[in-house]
Amino acid sequence: MAINVTTNILDIASRLPDNWLIGDDSCEIGRIVDRTFQQLTQNQSPQTPQTIFIAESEPVQFIASFIAARATKSQIFLCNPNWVKSEWQQVFNLVQPDIILGKNTLQNLTEIGFIASILDRHKNNPQSPIPNYQLPSIMIPTGGSSGKIRFAIHTWETLTASVQGFQQYFELEKINSFCVLPLYHVSGIMQFMRSFTTAGKLAIKPFKELENGKKAHIEPEQFFISLVPTQLQRLLQNPDTANWLSRFHTVLLGGAPAWPELLGTARKYQIKLALTYGMTETASQIATLKPADFLAGNNSSGHILPHAQVTIRSSKGEILCCNQVGNIAVNAKSLALGYYPDKFGDSLRDSFASRKYLQLDDLGFFDENNYLNIVGRNSDKIITGGENVFPAEVEAAIKSTNLVTDVSIIGLLDKDWGQVVTAIYVPANSAVTITALQAAIEDKLSKFKRPKNWVVVEQLPRNSQGKVNREQLQEIALKMVRSEDFSPLIDAD
């Protein structure tokens, strides 16, 4: 079982086999951990935990920094080393660190003038401890559709609870992970946690290298790999890589809805795909489809993992029956304590404490076999002419045409329709026309679901975790539809 007690993390690291970190020197990472630990504890007060930003761009340095920082029982903030100035500003407005681990990040922050100003602010306005705070905490960044960065408050216990649920669900003792996702993101750090706490093996490679055919020296049959749908799509375009991917024990797929044609191609190559549902707040997946079910034709998010409980509820909190769509409500041992610097407080805390669940914005239903099916986000729902349209369905239909490389669907206010379905998209090539797109989705979507506005862009405004910024999409779309040369496609019926 995964280690879920406050065992000295240095002891865990010392018990790992010499070859646990594939492609890198496992002994060298131990030396980096020891050196970093000594540096962190040199002037540390045992009564005052340090606040440490981990913003290492190199995976070995990131892992060593995480292990060392955890060993000091500090407050850890996982940070994206590629954040730009405005994003770092959001972070520093939330918290000022005592230590920043990441040579390149420190250099970048110094060049843009952040370090001096932050140190002065920290000196003049020292941070007070958060009352009743459970320490040490591990803060994992998450960004909603607004693009605002915030940190989910996790602990060693919540992260290892997720690992235990994963172990039990797949009936494994050791978990080997091949990671191509960023370690500062929940999807990356949890791959490390699964391998690290179960004495499994870990291989890390930038996705670009994998896409270019540079495969790791591993036996894929023994490994899990986690991908998002666009990554899977790119890998399937190369038959050699697709066949190699089919050898993996399991290919976990999450982060965004997958479209039917993509899943069909994966089945063609007999890829052992496991569709997942989870989020930063639940320390990765709480529902997963077994590969055998996927290969048999199931496109759901699968069954609930042992460490979680999920119900479907109405707007009044009533539990709904199977095949009834409602809000997804979650309770899990892996559930975050809240968003830094607040635990789930006020109305959220009252709801969570009294009803023992956290109601999410996601809509879904359980079918008669208890498979979880995701419909979309309630807040993203478009009501046009009295009909409900969920962006995920429309996006999947448009992506399946292979005429776009990226697309997002929003609703724009309209005096006649209430809202009109609007597509902001990146065409696959310059020859793609709106007429061609309309024809391609004619037999895929009911008429009221088809976009009436089509807005072409060079790229969508996505954050570092791949989530689209819907506020920016609204601004882009409004600017375009209000321009003189824009021709809306709204008709009378």
Pick the range with the lowest mean pLDDT from 3-12, 134-143, 155-164, 445-454.
3-12
Q: Chain-wide mean pLDDT for the chain?
A: 86
124-144 pLDDT, tens digit per residue, is 444 444 444 445 799 999 875
Average confidence (pLDDT) over 314-333: 94
Give the confidence band of 414 by pLDDT, cuts at 50, 70, 90: confident
Predicted confidence (pLDDT) at residue 426 exceeds the cutoff of 80 = yes
Predicted confidence (pLDDT) at residue 23 exceeds the cutoff of 90 = no
Q: What is the pLDDT of residue 238?
A: 93
Reading the block at residue 147, the tokens are 């693009």
Q: What is the pLDDT of residue 464?
A: 56
Q: What is the pLDDT of residue 123?
A: 47
Average confidence (pLDDT) over 194-211: 94
Angstrom distances, CA of residue 80 to CA of 88, 134, 346: 9, 24, 29
Q: What is the pLDDT of residue 245?
A: 97
Q: Which of 146-150, 312-316, 338-342, 347-351 has the highest mean pLDDT?
A: 312-316
Q: 227: closest CA among 236, 240, 217, 238?
A: 236
Average confidence (pLDDT) over 68-84: 92
267-283 pLDDT, tens digit per residue, is 999 999 999 999 999 99
Predicted confidence (pLDDT) at residue 112 exceeds the cutoff of 80 = no
Predicted confidence (pLDDT) at residue 184 exceeds the cutoff of 80 = yes
Q: What is the pLDDT of residue 124?
A: 45
Average confidence (pLDDT) over 153-163: 96
Q: What is the pLDDT of residue 4?
A: 41
d(CA 444, CA 396): 10
Predicted confidence (pLDDT) at residue 10 exceeds the cutoff of 80 = no
Residue spans in the chain of domains classed CATH 3.30.300.30: 381-481
Average confidence (pLDDT) over 441-455: 93
Predicted confidence (pLDDT) at residue 47 exceeds the cutoff of 90 = no
Q: What is the pLDDT of residue 485?
A: 60
Average confidence (pLDDT) over 437-452: 94
332-356 pLDDT, tens digit per residue, is 999 999 888 775 544 444 433 444 7
Average confidence (pLDDT) over 355-365: 85
pTM of the model: 0.85
Q: What is the CATH number of domain 381-481?
A: 3.30.300.30
User: What share of the chain has pLDDT > 90, as a percent?
Assistant: 59
Give the confidence band of 487 by pLDDT, cuts at 50, 70, 90: low
Give the confidence band of 429 by pLDDT, cuts at 50, 70, 90: very high
Architecture of domain 1-378: 3-Layer(aba) Sandwich (3.40)
Residue spans in the chain of domains classed CATH 3.40.50.12780: 1-378
